[in-house]
Structure 1
Amino acid sequence: MERAQTRIAGDQTMPITSMLEQAEPFSQAERDAVYKAIYTRRDVRDQFKPDPVSDDVLLRLLDAAHHAPSVGFMQPWNFIVIRAQQERERIWQAFCAANEEAAEMFSGERQSKYRSLKLEGIRKAPINICVTCDRTRGGKVVLGRTHNADMDVYSSVCAIQNLWLAARAEGVGLGWVSIFRPADIRQLLNIPEHVEIVGYLCLGYVDELYTRPELEVKGWNKRTPLEELIFDGRWPDKP
């Protein structure tokens, strides 16, 4: 019988098989909890309370993000935590300038509806987090990224999703701000050029969440039926 493969941990040799566990399905209660987090997760824009988020909770959320899958196990993410009101105010000013540009891209009723949306999370949420992707981490050649250079960015998005679901489980609201000029945020947060800004998040406790996505409730868009998005075997000639 062949000797089992081994993994070196410090100066100890440990069998890889000893690091495996049974892939048992979750119990019904555990499955329900996972799906509840998925289906009730919301993008919070304006409902944040001023109550502080403790360091213990914040570290649990960041640890959940850090346990996201990453191609080549490169773990390209960093998390810039912004708490100071003065710093968040500077970010908000940059957002406002970009938001006005965004509003001008719509016209008529669509523009009016856009301007009616309240996007005050940067100032109201007690914690802001800028999630970045260090595109040099792992070196020039990374396992799994050899033919798709953006896999590091996709991995960082997985970290955000982990954080978002963990936040829902903790009763913490999260909003993803995407309306800003990256150069403005890069300068304000001293982010190097080789590091990409993947997401700017607002975190804080909320009393209520919409039963459906806010943009659906307010008539901006509606959820596409799943059956329209599933193709069998190949992309159809006529979707």
Structure 2
Amino acid sequence: MRHAFDPAERAAVYRAIHERRDMRHFVPGNVDPAVLARLLDAAHHAPSVGYMQPWRVVRVTSSRTREALRGIVERERLATADALGERREDFMKLKVEGMRDCGELLVMALMDGRERHVFGRRTMPEMDLASVACAIQNLWLAARAEGLGMGWVSLFDVDQVRRLLGMPGGARPVAILCLGHVEAFYPRPMLESEGWAARQALHLYEDRWPAQPSADARTASSEPPE
């Protein structure tokens, strides 16, 4: 195809996608400022509905703030464990963040004043959140290409993080991002390796959502033939 990348460039893009991992284990070392600038520029070139670019990034450089953020995450980790019932102990064995060890800690947030932006959001206001997710994914893939690990931490109380970072009313933290050097990338997603979940098959429908079989039909289809 006339506009396609050459084979090596295409392979690199798909490699970054398939080898991206949600990293929890980091090794000491600062992230080179030039590399960090490239990663943030990649995030800032994400698509956004109505070109509103709703992402805001807080770079956490204070060890005190970093530890306070980690405390917020830890409280939510325990609350999540309690909410999981019979899977509580399995969850507590998982490493869910690397906030003390990563070279950079970033908080990705939604801007305030988003109600002014109607283009693309009149019936789907959550598209601002989708835009921020695109920025995070850009950052993640660029980090993998640079040989850096990144982990997305979502276990936190939104209002507590908002207050800690002095966010204005209407702004909302979306993700705490751990970024840094790693000993190795996980060969498979960590939650898959730990037996928490498995990758599902792609659900691809043609033209319309398929009719769901009734409970009786599902039961009957699961029975062995006579």
Tell me the TM-score normalised to structure 1 length. Answer: 0.85
Q: Deviations over 1:125-158 (max 9, x none)?
A: 1211111111425x62432222211111111110
Q: Does 1:126 align with 2:79?
A: no
**Secondary structure of the structure 2 residue equivalent to 1:88:** helix
Instruction: Name the CA shift for 1:33/1:134 in 2 (closer, same or farther; >3 Å).
Output: same
Quote the residue 1:13 is aligned against.
Answer: none
Q: Deviations over 1:59-98 (max 9, x none)?
A: 1000000000011111111110012222111111111111
**Secondary structure of the structure 2 residue equivalent to 1:122:** coil
Q: Is the 8 A contact 2:110 2:129 kept in 1?
A: yes
Quote the residue 1:28 is aligned against.
Answer: 7
Q: Does 1:161 align with 2:137?
A: yes
1:197 Cα deviation (Å)? 1.4
Match for 2:207: what amino acid? Answer: G
Instruction: Name the CA shift for 1:126/1:141 in 2 (closer, same or farther; >3 Å).
Output: closer
**Secondary structure of the structure 2 residue equivalent to 1:176:** strand
Structure 1: distance between partners of 2:172 and 2:135: 14
Q: Which residues in structure 2 correspond to 1:10-89 (within 5 Å)?
A: 24-45=3-24, 47-89=25-67
Q: Is the 8 A contact 2:112 2:168 kept in 1?
A: no
Quote the residue 2:220 is aligned against.
Answer: none
Match for 2:204: what amino acid? Answer: I
Structure 2: distance between partners of 1:156 and 1:101: 26
Quote the residue 1:179 is aligned against.
Answer: 155
Structure 2: distance between partners of 1:23 and 1:201: 37
Q: Is the 8 A contact 2:97 2:151 kept in 1?
A: no
Quote the residue 1:221 is aligned against.
Answer: 197
Q: Is the 8 A contact 1:135 1:152 kept in 2?
A: no
Quote the residue 1:7 is aligned against.
Answer: none
Structure 1: distance between partners of 2:15 and 2:182: 17
1:24 Cα deviation (Å)? 1.0
Quote the residue 1:235 is aligned against.
Answer: 209
1:120 Cα deviation (Å)? 4.0
Q: Deviations over 1:181-225 (max 9, x none)?
A: 111111111111211212111101101111110000000000001
**Alignment: residue pair count:** 213
Find the partner of 2:171 among 195, 212, 216: 195
What's the % identity of the aligned pairs? 44
Match for 1:225: what amino acid? Answer: A
Tell me the TM-score normalised to structure 2 length. Answer: 0.90
Structure 2: distance between partners of 1:160 and 1:171: 16
**Secondary structure of the structure 2 residue equivalent to 1:123:** coil
Q: Is the 8 A contact 1:76 1:134 kept in 2?
A: yes
Structure 1: distance between partners of 2:142 and 2:2: 21
Match for 1:179: what amino acid? Answer: L
Instruction: Name the CA shift for 1:141/1:189 in 2 (closer, same or farther; >3 Å).
Output: closer
Q: Is the 8 A contact 2:52 2:117 kept in 1?
A: no
Structure 2: distance between partners of 1:28 and 1:94: 45
Bigger strand fraction: 1
Q: Is the 8 A contact 1:83 1:126 kept in 2?
A: no
Task: Could you tell me which runs of 5 or more consecutive residues in structure 2 were left unpaired when the two chains were aligned.
Answer: 214-226
